[in-house]
Amino acid sequence: MTSPDSQTEELDEKYRHTISIHGREYQKYSIDNEISFQPVDDDEADRLDLQHDVFNEVFDGRLIFPPIPQPRRVLDCGHGAGSWAVEVAEQYPRCEITGVDISPHMNSDGVPENLWFQVDDLNRPFTFPSNHFDLVHSRMMAAGINRSRWPSYIRDIKRVLKPGGWVQLVEIYFNVQSDNGSLTEKHALRKWSTQFMRSIGDVKDLRIGTRLRDLLLAAGMEEVESRMIPLPLSAWSSEAKIRDIGAANRESARQLLPALALYPLTQRLHMPHDQFQQLIDQAQKEASNLSLKAYFPLYVCIGRKPL
């Protein structure tokens, strides 16, 4: 990885190749190296934009949670379609934002001139200079960071942060929950969760949200704060704010179910495609069923590098 000050390098062709599976486009390099099993096509970019809007609703439009009045350098790990990075770049025009992603396919055009996108594998040690960034952001990376990589990923983040700099982590725990006892193992939503987690559980830790706090503390971060926020799959709540989030998340959740699981279930668990489609159709219906009150636990964690 290079810093924005260094010269732009030609993108290696190996990162550009895509393969088509059941009508979705995947990055061949990612699939071959078990880095990410999510599509990289326009539909996925649109889905990530939509999901970003849901996060904005959840976080009341706040992009940066720790108290950093004027960030100078920000790193976004796994920027995806770049919505978060673009909005941070627009909100802080004097800040340099670097986004790193293994896939260049979803990068939006015409990004602000204080934003740079790089292609690299975050499972490899960071090559950014030490003590460099005011904030490192990592959101929805559970299906990309290798299970065994998490402790050194957090240590790398800490190394590249300036003393007193902050890390901000956001992860969904993909085990669908309901607090009213109506969701059982017979529901397609639970089958989706179990099979998705099993399908890539050998390489990825989809429970990482629940461990973020411990990881930051183990890495020696200070002022660690962690919260679990229920992310409703539809507008089932009687509380206005949670109902609005559920309404906003309905379409996003509907799209998330097939997008995340198509490759893992059909290619890694060898589920026939028609069976996969039935599972998704049923899970989508259940996600919109208000009486199930289904939600994903969303974990948010921040921590500060000691001065």
Ligand X SMILES: C[S@@+](CC[C@H](N)C(=O)[O-])C[C@H]1O[C@@H](n2cnc3c(N)ncnc32)[C@H](O)[C@@H]1O
| Single residue of 140, 172, 216, 280 touching ligand X by CB under 6 A | 140
Q: Is 241 exposed, middle or buried (0-12, 13-18, 19+ CB in 10 A)?
A: exposed
Residue number, 104 or 289, with CB nearest to ligand X? 104
Residue number, 54 or 183, with CB nearest to ligand X? 54
Least separation in angstroms between CB 305 and ligand X: 21
| Single residue of 123, 237, 252, 255 touching ligand X by CB under 6 A | 123
Of 4-12, 72-80, 184-192, 264-272, which part binds ligand X (CB under 6 A)?
A: 72-80
Least separation in angstroms between CB 84 and ligand X: 6
C-alpha to C-alpha distance for 307 and 165, rounded to whole angstroms: 8
* Contact flags string 11-50 toward ligand X, x per CB under 6 A: ------------------------xx-x---------x--
C-alpha to C-alpha distance for 75 and 61, rounded to whole angstroms: 19
| Single residue of 37, 117, 118, 144 touching ligand X by CB under 6 A | 144
Taking a C-beta distance cutoff of 8 angstroms, is the pair 297, 209 a contact? yes
Kindly list the distances between the CA atom of residue 98 and the CA atoms of 109, 132, 189, 193, 301, in Å, as whole numbers in the listed order. Answer: 15, 11, 36, 33, 21
| Single residue of 73, 132, 139, 305 touching ligand X by CB under 6 A | 139
Task: Map the footprint of ligand X across residues 222-281, applying CB under 6 A.
Answer: none
How far the first Cα of the chain sits from its last, in Å, is 25
Of 95-103, 229-237, 289-297, 299-307, which part binds ligand X (CB under 6 A)?
A: 95-103
Task: Annotate 183-211 with DSSP letters as a single string.
Answer: --TTSHHHHHHHHHHHHHTTTB-TTGGGG
Residue number, 71 or 144, with CB nearest to ligand X? 144
- Which residue, among 185, 204, 208, has the nearest Cα to 196 in the 3D structure? 204
- Is 121 a binding residue for ligand X by CB under 6 A? The answer is yes
Least separation in angstroms between CB 205 and ligand X: 13
- Which residue, among 195, 189, 151, has the nearest Cα to 284 in the 3D structure? 189
Least separation in angstroms between CB 290 and ligand X: 27
C-alpha to C-alpha distance for 228 and 210, rounded to whole angstroms: 9
Contact set with ligand X (CB under 6 A): 35-36, 38, 48, 52, 78-80, 83-84, 101-103, 121-123, 139-141, 144-145
